[in-house]
Structure 1
Amino acid sequence: MSTATLPNPDTVAARAREILDTWQADPEYARLEKGCGMYSNDWTDSYGHVIIPDYDVTQDGPALFPQMMRCMALKSAVYEMTGDEQAAELPVPVPIDVLSHAACAQINVLTRMQQRTGTLFVHATDMEAGRSGGTWEFGDYTHRAYRAAWGPVDERYWIDAAETERRRKILDQKYEPIGISDRGRRATIDLASA
């Protein structure tokens, strides 16, 4: 467990805005965005993005990308200020966290952007301290820092922990009859004879 004291959310917000501006000015920022949009062709998610009502990757993907990059900038700012990887693993909404995995899959682009900007992208699943996602809450540290940096959150994507779990329980009930269980980590569908 991290023992780092989190910096003032307003201080983190100011640095996160600078980080995001630097990333957006990078010559490969558009390529990162495009790559994240293409990620869905090879990997789908049955418990993250689909908690968004009427989710459509072609419409929601472009709206999720800036949300995700803002959260990454917040994490990077906290990491710069604390040097603590676990402290920097701020809780974020599940749909945004899922998209951060798409960004991390663009390792070549991210590596070059980190080298050019001197700012690390910070995301570590093992530092989520047993969270299964959806630990973000209205009014928590992440929310306060985000709001200080960019104003109100987009409530379509910023789904809090309790609502995330409620929606996932509905998905459990829908998936179980077709042989998908353990939150999508287990499948007993007989594909050979189907």
Structure 2
Amino acid sequence: MPVQMPAPELVAEGAVQVLALLQGDPEFDAFRAASLEYSDDWQCFTGFPVVSEWKLEDDAEPLFEEGLRAISLKAAVFALTNDDRAAEVAIAVPVDEMTHAMLAQTQLLHRIASRYGITVIHQTDQEHTDYTSDSYTADCYRAAWGTPPPRYWLDHDEVVRRREHLGGLYESIGMGRSGREHAITFEAVA
């Protein structure tokens, strides 16, 4: 039986509280720094690159803020429903990608969330990246913080269009399936 989703205003109230708790934690600065530390190991071909004229140095900070808001919305829905699936509200692809960077800081995020009884929700096989500007998520976001920044909160159809364009560009340089395979043979090291 589907869970009755809480009113966006209730979710917004909870999300604003969750965000304030996260940001006020003594380990928040370390969490932010770790989440924004992008080494050469962090590569994504279909998440961040769907942002027009994406540049890590310019986009990381504002996208970090959007990732925090997404985590806060999910936590608020969970607090109101106690349902993992209901809490997996639709998130835009670039924002979801940033939440992955945040979730990779497992010990910091767990300690921060645990101090306040916050349940951080994310399970890849249950996540929804089919966000639209007229969705439940958008209604909750607007009630909490105003209009979601369209640079990062891209509608699903636009993400699909941009991924197809990127896929064609990747194919032109020998990267198949948007970076999931290639036929490049590297020279053996002697």
- Give the TM interval when normalised to the shorter protein: over 0.9
Report the equivalent of 1:185. 180
8 A contact 2:15–2:69 mirrored in 1: yes
1:40 positional shift? 4.7
1:114 positional shift? 1.7
Report the residue type matching 1:80 in the other structure: A
1:152 maps to 2:147: yes
Provide the TM-score with structure 1 as the length reference.
0.92
Report the equivalent of 2:19. 20
Report the residue type matching 1:53 in the other structure: S
Deviations along 1:132-170, one digit per CA (max 9) or x if unpaired, are x3x101110000000000001111111111110110000
Provide the TM-score with structure 2 as the length reference.
0.94
Deviations along 1:37-57, one digit per CA (max 9) or x if unpaired, are 103542111111011111111
Deviations along 1:14-56, one digit per CA (max 9) or x if unpaired, are 1100111111110111111111110354211111101111111
Report the equivalent of 2:164. 169
Report the equivalent of 1:120. 119
Report the equivalent of 1:100. 99
Q: Give the length in aligned residue pairs.
A: 188
Report the equivalent of 2:63. 64
8 A contact 2:14–2:76 mirrored in 1: yes
Task: Give the match's secondary structure for 1:126.
Answer: coil
Within 2, Cα distance between the matches of 1:125 and 1:27? 29
* Residues 40 and 73 of structure 1: CA distance in aligned 2, closer, same or farther (over 3 Å): farther
Structure 1 unaligned regions, length at least 5: none
Report the equivalent of 1:44. 43
Report the residue type matching 1:162 in the other structure: D
Within 2, Cα distance between the matches of 1:139 and 1:71? 16
Pick which of 38-47 and 28-37 moved more: 38-47
1:84 positional shift? 1.0
Within 1, Cα distance between the matches of 2:157 and 2:43? 23
8 A contact 1:178–1:189 mirrored in 2: no
Within 2, Cα distance between the matches of 1:169 and 1:29? 37
Within 2, Cα distance between the matches of 1:190 and 1:53? 31
1:31 maps to 2:30: yes
8 A contact 1:86–1:127 mirrored in 2: yes
Task: Give the match's secondary structure for 2:150.
Answer: coil
8 A contact 2:171–2:178 mirrored in 1: no
Percent identity reads 36
Within 2, Cα distance between the matches of 1:147 and 1:82? 20
